[in-house]
Amino acid sequence: MDEVAIDVYCGMDSTVFITEMGRVFACGNNADNKIGINKRETFIMQMKKLLNKHHLQVPYSINPLPIKDLGKHRIIDCSLGSTHSAFLTETGLVYTFGRNNHGQLGSGNALPREMAVVVKGLKNKPIMVTCSELATVVATECNTFHIWGSRPIIQSPLSTLLSGQPTDKGYC
């Protein structure tokens, strides 16, 4: 990493660095691609992987590696859960990586994902992301929030929103 880091986010077993240019680098445990440093695969590479059991996963890195799926975006916030991570772009997009067994990636289901998920259906511009063990919460500029996944950290009537599909509560 040859850029100056201005923000550092630490998870239980991984670390993310955001540079002055808004680029993102990560190191540590990348099980289930939870910090997004798996190598990109072309169609031919995917076929070789299926036929030869050739894996391109990067399970762990002690050196910070760029998160290529976020390369064209300026990242302003990040959160690292134990099995997944979430990134917020300057334009208000939310990207998630990692395990999705409880719908914590916000894809609308609990199917495994090899690459980044762009969370859709968010109302109002997100300003902050937070990951718990099995859930993700996004706060918006209108003091509303979206929550998805399982066993949310908020214990209230909203904890019944476990579909894996982002749901908003509050008013703007």
Closest C-alpha to 75, from 116, 41, 115: 116
Q: Which three-class secondary structure state does DSSP give residue 26?
A: strand
Domains of the chain with bracketed CATH: 5-169 (2.130.10.30)
Confidence of residue 169 (pLDDT cuts 50, 70, 90): low
Give, as one character, the DSSP assignment of residue 90: T
Q: For residue range 45-78, what is the model confidence (pLDDT) as tens digits?
A: 555 655 555 445 668 889 999 999 998 999 999 9
Closest C-alpha to 129, from 117, 113, 140: 140
In whole numbers, what is the pLDDT of the chain averaged over residues?
A: 82
Q: For residue range 125-161, what is the model confidence (pLDDT) as tens digits?
A: 999 999 998 999 999 998 888 899 986 555 444 444 4
Q: How far apart are CA 106 and CA 147, in angstroms?
A: 9
Q: How far apart are CA 1 and CA 48, in angstroms?
A: 30
Which of 18-27, 113-122, 157-166 has the lowest average pLDDT? 157-166
Q: In Å, how far from its chain's centre is CA 103? A: 12
